[in-house]
Amino acid sequence: MIGKRAFSAFAFALMICCTGSARAATPVDVELLLMVDVSGSIDGEEAKLQRQGYVAALTSGALREAVRAGGLGRVAMAYVEWADSTHQRLVADWTLLDDENSLNIFATRIAAAPIETGRWTALGSAIDFGVAQFTTSPFKGERRVIDISGDGYSNQGHAPGDARDKAVAAGITINGLPIVNDQPNPMGGLPPVDLDRYYQDHVIGGPGAFILTADGLDRFGQAIMAKMVKEIAALPSRADQQMASLPHSPIKTLTFDRGDGVP
């Protein structure tokens, strides 16, 4: 017969064992956090175009193929929309994506959510929020990547370069998708003329970090599809070939290996 003390010790050990098993993270090829600018420089129609671009990319055959091409054949994604220093919204939480059905469901969840915009652009705060999301992820990726898009400089909060360096130190790569156009924004300001360079110097970082520049939102869907294929499959040649095949493509890719996070 087991004594009370022995039984208690056994029960405690069993509890620790079961808790550890319950918290074991599911391995995936990559944890990819999509972060989308909904600040004041993005009007309602542009916000919808961004959403449609991500939905189209997630339901594309090219992305499905990229997921299957990984060693494990599965990835984890979450989707965030951000603006000022107090506006970061988790639209779709971490989800396991491993087949057409799971990708379609994730895309539908994003498409169905209401769009809530902000006023300012706080890239540093957005990156900090993104880094925090990995601490709650129930997955363990061979790579952890933040994919952040936007159409303007940071104009509120702390410096994005500082936030970038902390993310890189935590083992997270940040890739950027600056949206470049020559139209004044809804707030009356002139568009930035060197946004790709700004993202290069202040936003992206980590091993193999890159920016993919989209010339306007009308081709944004094609840009984000090519970018996500490149991030998920970790096969730059495949994504680059796909972009090159687009007729009159306004998309260009710049790759920088900045493992130390220093510009």
pLDDT for res 39 = 87
Angle at 43 between CA 37 and CA 44, to 5 degrees: 100
Angle at 83 between CA 210 and CA 103, to 5 degrees: 60
* 171 burial via Cβ count (<10 Å: 0-12, 13-18, 19+): exposed
Identify the structural domains of the chain with CATH numbers, from first to last. 27-255 (3.40.50.410)
pLDDT for res 3 = 55
Question: What are the structure tokens assigned to 172, written together?
Answer: 């997270």
For the segment 170-192, the average pLDDT, to the nearest whole number, is: 73
pLDDT for res 213 = 81
- 3-class secondary structure, 199: helix
For the segment 40-54, the average pLDDT, to the nearest whole number, is: 80
How much is the CA Rg of the chain, to the nearest whole Å? 20
**pLDDT score of 77 more than 80:** yes
Distance CA 14, CA 192 (A): 59
Read off the pLDDT of residues 206-242 as tens digits, 9 standing for 90 and up. 988 998 887 766 677 788 888 899 999 875 444 444 4
Mind giving me the DSSP string for 14-80?
HHHHHHHHHTPPEEEEEEEEEEEE-STTS-HHHHHHHHHHHHHHHTSHHHHHHHHHSSSS-EEEEEE
Whether the CB-CB separation of 121 and 156 falls below 8 Å is answered with yes
Percent of all residues in the chain with a pLDDT value above 70, rounded to a whole number: 73
pLDDT-based confidence at residue 205 (cuts at 50, 70, 90): very high
Number of Cβ atoms within 10 Å of the Cβ of 193: 10
pTM summary value:
0.80
Read off the pLDDT of residues 124-161 as tens digits, 9 standing for 90 and up. 999 999 999 999 999 999 999 999 988 888 888 889 99
Report the DSSP pairing between strands 210-215 and 173-180.
parallel
| Greater pLDDT, 76 or 243 | 76
- Mean pLDDT, all residues of the chain: 79
For the segment 31-48, the average pLDDT, to the nearest whole number, is: 84
Beta strands (DSSP E) in the chain are 26-37, 75-82, 88-97, 139-150, 173-180, 210-215, 252-255
pLDDT for res 220 = 76
| Greater pLDDT, 241 or 23 | 23
